[in-house]
Structure 1
Amino acid sequence: MQQPMTVNRPEPKVVDLPFSLKDVKEAIPPHCFESSAIRSLAYFFWDIFVISVLYVIADYLDSWFFWPIFWVMQGTMFWALFVVGHDCGHGSFSRYKWLNNLMGHLSHTPILVPFHGWRISHRTHHKNTGNLDTDESWYPVTESKYDEMDWLEKFARFKLVLFLYPLYLFKRSPGRKGTHFDPKSDLFRPSEKWDVLTSTICCSLMVAFLGVLTYQFGFLWLLKYYLGPYIVFVVWLDLVTFLHHTDPDVPWYRGRDWYFLKGALSTVDHDYGFINNIHHNIGTHVAHHIFLTMPHYHLKTATEAIKPVLGEYYRKSDYSILEAFIRGYNICHVVPDEGGKVYCEPREL
């Protein structure tokens, strides 16, 4: 019996973007790439001032009517402080490495973020954004990986999406191994050992400090003054990261179909309303992913400058924050096992 003829079709050609990284950069005013230590420090001290005032007010009122309000407000300020440390991690806080590291620890240690451990894993995320094989966080799982996951892992990954950050620090994302606290993790190079240990020690001292205060004043004190705001901070961090990288219209790439600029454009800007200024315009995420060393206070100007160059490749959500979250939550579960350019699809959870 004659065998059917096999046709060896060539792989589809990768379609490049109609502009280069150089084209995008040249559209931005040069001053947007310059950082100011004084201006960055002003944002840090403003956040610390607001956090201090909120603590004074909460302590003075000491009312269960006010505590939930305080948790939301203070947790939002914890998140704002994280964004300041985020600039430090990118080196956009100032031109001085020692100042970036110092202020990064002062911003992140109080909210139990290991500055260097996070900085390094975040560096991996930025270098590989939109790459299904090598991205570090909030990448979708494949259909085959989903089928391998046990019920607990599925429950955590798809139901507890707004509370995953502390777990991520210890366990990373599905399919990845290691922890942000151990210098032997494959996240880190041998030369980064002491950086990682320094941040781990700082976080350990913060935990010990909270333990002493809890021993002295009781668990209710810890809940009112720290755990409440900390949980809100975690929700903010997970929500913003989820929204910027989890959208049914955002493509993910494999192998030769991926390169840096295409991956950097696989993110979405969001408008958080009056929160924009409070959390330092972190919603301007597209420009940030293309030029990660740009200070946050220049991102709005840069975004307006690059829109004409990017054209249809610039993505900004037209949905409200709640609508965008529900949409991603209900649709973005898995991606196909094959394909150079793929989109998220829903699965029965």
Structure 2
Amino acid sequence: MTKERLKTLKKQMSPYETSNTKKSILQLINTFIPFFALWYLAYLSLNVSYLLTVFISIFAAGFLIRIFIIFHDCCHNSFFKNRKANKIIGTISGIMTIFPYNAWAHDHSVHHATSSNLDKRGTGDIWLLTVNEYVAAPFFTKLAYRIYRNPLVMFGIGPIYTFLIKNRFNRKNAKMNERMNTYITNISIVALYTGMCFLVGWEAFLLVQGPIFLISGAAGIWLFYVQHTFEDSYFEADKDWEYVSAAVEGSSFYKLPKVLQWLTGNIGYHHVHHLSPRVPNYQLEAAHESSEPLQNVPTITLKTSLQSLKFRLWDEDKKVFVGYRAIKEKIAENKNKNNLTVSPK
């Protein structure tokens, strides 16, 4: 796709970048109320069967993901026209999903500005090494990387560490308003959880909130992971990196069944979101359908997305994601090059 076509594509998103207050309020109603109702239903089911509790928790987790999408839109100031309204609803939904509004808004904006840029990794993204970097890395870096990229760690321990621990601390150079927002969020979470423990008992609270947290956390990380980890993704050095190309080629269209698409707030249209973060979630599908080029971006389904689990490293030469087998090929290639450069005696 030419640069001119890419610029035109970005301009085509402008009609969809305006939030609709009625739609936003309706989304608050059809997201928060069902979540609270399902949470209460899961609590009542404890007297029937814990298997039933876990079953109900799966649906509650879906609505918690939807609450996170509202939080996510507020961080982009795309959910409401008013910035103060975005911050208020964003902070409340951040407390529900245990994410500090200001801190995450900062990191996520950096992610959008640097996504798929090999020279600007490290903020708001998943740890990624290229094949060459992995081969050259010391043993303990390789070990840490393999542990980090293990699915059981990434989707099991990952949510616990990221949401419960990492989100509780401010980054080193955070400004005062960002620090205060994190403190307020932390205090509010403690107050909310303490109140719930007094209301229903700490055992009941953990039995209900535990599976909701783990399921929604694992699903949330999976969504973020799979939307940037597919075989023919886009990664370039800074000198060759281009924003629109990174958006439409480095972010997938995750084509989900309608029910899952609704619960995940259309986040499967991730290429549209990266192309224009100001498009609210309820406008993403319409924006996608309005442009033929956007309908021809890398598309993955529930079935094909599972293939991303085998991708571990980015091959800069082939421009594709690869597994660890590519390491042996690279080592053998480097040995051959070294042998060719050594002059025979």
Please confirm whether the aligned pair reaches a TM-score higher than 0.5, indicating the same fold.
yes
Counterpart residue number, 2:266: 281
Task: Write the mapping of 1:12-51 to structure 2, written as runs, cut at 5 A.
Answer: 17-28=2-13, 31-51=15-35
Question: Does residue 130 of structure 2 align to residue 142 of structure 1?
Answer: yes
1:55 Cα deviation after fit: 2.3
What is the one-letter code of the residue matched to 1:23?
T
Question: Does residue 330 of structure 2 align to residue 344 of structure 1?
Answer: no
The one of 145, 169, 185 aligned to 2:172: 185
Q: Secondary structure at the match of 1:24?
A: helix
1:311 Cα deviation after fit: 7.3
What is the one-letter code of the residue matched to 2:126?
W
The one of 228, 244, 247 aligned to 2:227: 244
Task: Write the mapping of 1:291-302 to structure 2, written as runs, cut at 5 A.
Answer: 291-302=276-287
Supply the RMSD in Å over aligned alpha carbons: 2.6
Mapped contact 2:168–2:186 kept (Cα < 8 A): no
Counterpart residue number, 2:309: 329
Q: 1:64 to 1:302 in 2, by over 3 A?
A: same
Task: Provide the aligned length of Structure 1 versus Structure 2.
Answer: 314
Q: Secondary structure at the match of 1:141?
A: coil
More helix by share: 2
Distance 2:93 2:295 in 1: 36
What is the one-letter code of the residue matched to 2:101?
F
Distance 2:168 2:5 in 1: 37
1:291 Cα deviation after fit: 0.5
Q: Per-residue CA shift, 1:263-314, capped at 9, x if unaligned? A: 1121101122021112221111111100001111111111122224x575x2
1:19 Cα deviation after fit: 3.2
The TM-score, its normalising length taken from structure 1, stands at 0.81
Counterpart residue number, 1:11: none
Q: 1:204 to 1:141 in 2, by over 3 A?
A: farther
Identity of aligned residues (%): 17
Counterpart residue number, 1:151: 143
Mapped contact 2:10–2:244 kept (Cα < 8 A): no
The one of 170, 178, 185 aligned to 1:202: 185
Distance 2:4 2:96 in 1: 42
Q: Secondary structure at the match of 2:299?
A: coil
Out of 233-242 and 203-212, give the one that drifted further: 203-212
Question: Does residue 72 of structure 2 align to residue 86 of structure 1?
Answer: yes
Q: Per-residue CA shift, 1:208-258, capped at 9, x if unaligned? A: 542464477555323222111011110111111111000111121112110
The TM-score, its normalising length taken from structure 2, stands at 0.82
The one of 246, 257, 260 aligned to 1:263: 246
Q: 1:184 to 1:128 in 2, by over 3 A?
A: closer
Mapped contact 1:132–1:140 kept (Cα < 8 A): no
Counterpart residue number, 1:98: 84
Mapped contact 2:170–2:182 kept (Cα < 8 A): no
Counterpart residue number, 2:36: 52
1:77 Cα deviation after fit: 0.9
In the alignment, structure 2 segments of 5+ residues that lack a partner are 328-345
Distance 2:51 2:321 in 1: 42
Q: 1:42 to 1:289 in 2, by over 3 A?
A: same
